[in-house]
Amino acid sequence: MKKYSLIEFICSLTLLLLPALYGFSVSSRLPQVMSSRFDLAGNVTTYMDKHLFLILIPLFMLAAQLLVFGASIAKPLLNKNFELLIRWIIPLINLIIYPATIYRNLHQGFPMTKLAFLSIGLLLVVLGNYLPKKVQADREPLPRKLAYAVMGAGLVLFAAGLFI
């Protein structure tokens, strides 16, 4: 692993663990059984023990980040901007969703549906931008029409998130 990749890897893991620090700092105020998943109406669909939520979610995200980072090192991408996006997408999503879920358990009126629509819409717009570009040497880029469809879906979700 190059020195630059190692520094980037350590920074991404640090960013992954920052929301866990927030969770542990407010753990005394959190309910013993926390809501962890929500439906489109914002109603809770799944509950999880507080300690499992505070420990297992960051560990799962760390494992996913290790997998993504390892795959990007094993088979480098041609487009360095796309590689940067892929390496940082899990820490950035975790930085938004994990603290928001903790905050939702502290304040029941927090609009998780709005946050989910805005986050996923923005993610689809950004990813749709990279679909028609060649990112690996042995693969062809995806068709532009698919990229436009993904970006369009992202814009619709983002707009829906603004008006929910």
Indicate the Cα dihedral angle 72, 76, 78, 79, nearest 10°: 20
Do the Cβ atoms of 155 and 163 come closer than 8 Å? no
User: How many other CB atoms are there within 10 angstroms of residue 104's CB atom?
Assistant: 20
Question: Is pLDDT larger for residue 76 or for residue 98?
Answer: 98
* Confidence at 3, pLDDT banded by 50, 70, 90: low
pLDDT digits (tens, 9 = 90+) for 100-134: 999 999 988 888 889 989 999 999 998 888 777 76
Residues 6+ apart with CB under 8 A from 76: 83
**Encoded tokens for 121:** 């819409």
Domain locations in the chain? Answer: 3-163
